[in-house]
Structure 1
Amino acid sequence: IYDTFDECIKKRIEPLYFDEVGLLELEGKGFDCLVKTLISSGLDLVLVVRNEFLEGFLKRYQVKEFLIVS
C-alpha cells in the first residue's frame, strides 16, 4: 500500500482515497505515517474519519482546510 500511494504522490494523481483513519492512526499506530505523508503531499484527498474521531484527527494531523460529506 505504501508503494502504491508513493507512486500516486510522485505522479500527482488526485484525489487519493483512504478508508479509514481510525483509532490506531490517532494513537500513532497503523497507517499513521502514511496518513501524515498523504496530508503533507498537498494533494486533494478523500479520507474517511468517523464522527467520534474527527476532532482528534483534525488536531493530530493539523488539518486546516476540509469539507465534511456525510
Structure 2
Amino acid sequence: MPSLNDRDMAFLRNLQRGQTVTGLVTEIATFGVTFVDIGGFTAIDRSATSSPIPSPNSSPSPRRRRQLSG
C-alpha cells in the first residue's frame, strides 16, 4: 500500500462529518451507492440527496461532477 504524502494527510485531517465536497462520479453501483473521486480518494455516496453540479465542459460522459454533503 502506498504511503500518503503531506498533502494527502492534510486533506484527510481536514475532512469533517457533514462537510460538502465536490468530486467526479466514477461508478454507479447496482446496489444503490455511487463512487465519487474527491481528489485522489474514493468516497461512497449512498444518499439520494447528492446534487449534480454542471461541469463547464459538459459532455455525455458518465463521469459527472457531484457535490456531496455528509
* Shared fold, TM over 0.5: no
Select the structure that is richer in strand: 2
Q: How does the TM-score come out when normalised to structure 1?
A: 0.28
Give the greater-gyration-radius structure (CA).
Answer: 2
Select the structure that is richer in helix: 1
Q: How does the TM-score come out when normalised to structure 2?
A: 0.28
